[in-house]
Amino acid sequence: MTAAAVAIHECSAWLRGAAAKRVRQIGAQLKDIDTSDFGAIIAPLGSTGSPGSCEDRTCDRCRSYVPQGDALHMFVFWATPRIHLAGGLCASCARKEGAR
């Protein structure tokens, strides 16, 4: 593991819980599918909408709308060795998750 891959901040209880819930949902969706040939599974952490829509620009943590022009902090959370969850946070929630 490189220095760039080492976490410098413990993720919050919210993120751990949201990721665990999403991993369970993905597991339930794939329970009857042989995934042994799959590489990584990349899925949204929260709900999504069409690109640029209000839902697409809503913080996954506090559910606040982040208007166009304001920073929506995108991230990928490595939930399991094969499941990566993508999300977006408002500036306040990004700071709570350790963004600088």
28-39 per-position pLDDT tens digit: 998 888 877 878
pLDDT given at position 9 = 66
pLDDT given at position 16 = 95
Q: What is the pLDDT of residues 33-66, one digit of tens each?
A: 887 787 889 999 988 889 889 999 999 999 999 9
Domain parsing of the chain, residue ranges? 38-100
Nearest in space to 83 (alpha carbons), one of 32, 25, 33, 34: 25
69, amino acid identity: G
Quote the CA–CA distance of 13 and 15 in Å, as a whole number.
6
- pTM of the model as a whole: 0.82
